[in-house]
Structure 1
């Protein structure tokens, strides 16, 4: 039995479908089961609730061979440590008490780099990894830089203004990865019991290529058949925009600190190898995912 947290998100949902396609028994932890696709819900075990709740994770992890762990940070949390390690504490205890053999988690690049000290949400995520690893469970942290799906948040400005915004340097390259590729790596590790007892390890998942934001804009322009550009905005404006959209000040600051650390080279600490490279290019993702999203009427955005 494999337990999947956050099964209605971009990554978790694809992990569930990949496991089911392989004939693997799946149990999910979900606040609102109605958000599960009907064809999925009828084929899985469901534990209703939050995976920060001690009773919920104790029930969900009982008898589990492996757990897929993902924290979507609460934008209203008191701080980045509360959003990650604070959220994970009940599950960390349940990994011990329920004797879970293996955990695969969604994490970030940056461990061991000088920039990580001032990286906000990055440092908090790595601290959560350390908390999980300290239980002695076999843990594989999938480390990424930038999800291609993050660009979907800007489908509206791309559609109406031909522009997408952010605090990142326009000419700083970084690895982009599609969530479909993350899910594929996660499902493979979850089904592979040969690394039980092997402690903690990071598994970089770097996508097919490194691109700058200017290069991303060029690809988007070609796929959409019209000009699209990237516009860098000041860090304080980025933070203020997050707060206008409901983020608490400490979380907005943590996300800004993360972006600034990336500008300073945080993602450059891992060398790309064939092992860490996954198949989906940004161009293919734009064709498959971004282009249909941008073409939707504004009311559906």
Structure 2
């Protein structure tokens, strides 16, 4: 039995589909089961509730061989530590109590750099990994750069103004990955019962790419000029506050972007094992183009 958290999210729903295609037995933790598609709802065991709830995770982890752990976004949390570490504490206790054998989590790059302790969301993600690892469970933390799919958060602005924004230097080439590839790596690890120990597994996408490179590709795929604009960190933070983020979480987003701009995501050497296939052009053709033009 494989337990999947956030089964309706960008990564989670793709993961559930891949696991079911492989014939795995899947149990999901979901706040609102009605958000599951009919094809999935009828083929999985459902535990309703939040995976921050001790009763929920104890019920879900009972008899489970493996768990996919992903902390959902909480823009109004009191701190990044509360959003990641405190959220995960009931699950860490349940992993031990229920004897779960393997855990695969969604985390972030940066542990090997001096910036790891001042990177907002990333710093909290790494602390969450340490909490899970301390249980002694066999553990693989998927460490990712920024997701290509995050570009969809600015789809309306791209469509209306032909512009997208970040405080990161437009010429800085960084790794970027697609959520479909994250789901594929997680599926492989969750189905493989042979691995033990605790490791980080980087998911770097096919190449390092800058925002200006992305703008050129988006322009070509969308058939209209798209421009990248670097904005100051304080303006970036103000946008999140405008969207209703708490001061702490807006600050966490800003610290993360600042650390990425200073090389946070460049601390892992690229290899065949951590290079994943979906290019930004492929992602734009299959995901961004329909979102903008349809």
Q: Same fold (TM over 0.5)?
A: yes
For residue 112 of structure 1, report the CA deviation from its aligned partner. Answer: 2.1
Alignment of 1:224-263 (within 5 A): 224-263=222-261
SS in 2 for 1:142: strand
CA distance in 2, matches of 1:45, 1:194: 25
For residue 117 of structure 1, report the CA deviation from its aligned partner. Answer: 2.0
| Equivalent residue for 1:277, pick from 275, 278, 283 | 275
For residue 11 of structure 1, report the CA deviation from its aligned partner. Answer: 0.2
8 A Cα contact 2:5 2:68, kept in partner? yes
CA distance in 2, matches of 1:176, 1:133: 26
Matched residue, 1:184:
184
CA distance in 2, matches of 1:174, 1:144: 11
For residue 72 of structure 1, report the CA deviation from its aligned partner. Answer: 1.9
* Unmatched 5+ stretches in structure 1: 297-301
SS in 1 for 2:46: strand
Query: Runs in 1 of length 4+ with deviation above 4 angstroms?
Result: none
8 A Cα contact 1:119 1:257, kept in partner? yes
8 A Cα contact 2:119 2:258, kept in partner? yes
Alignment of 1:1-301 (within 5 A): 1-195=1-195, 198-296=196-294
SS in 1 for 2:189: helix
8 A Cα contact 1:133 1:199, kept in partner? no
CA distance in 2, matches of 1:67, 1:169: 37
8 A Cα contact 1:15 1:186, kept in partner? yes
* Unmatched 5+ stretches in structure 2: none
Q: What TM-score, normalized to structure 1?
A: 0.97
For residue 28 of structure 1, report the CA deviation from its aligned partner. Answer: 0.0
CA distance in 1, matches of 2:72, 2:259: 20
8 A Cα contact 2:108 2:143, kept in partner? yes
CA distance in 2, matches of 1:120, 1:43: 38
8 A Cα contact 1:73 1:84, kept in partner? no
CA distance in 1, matches of 2:191, 2:153: 32
CA RMSD of aligned residues (A): 0.7
Matched residue, 1:299:
none
8 A Cα contact 2:112 2:268, kept in partner? no
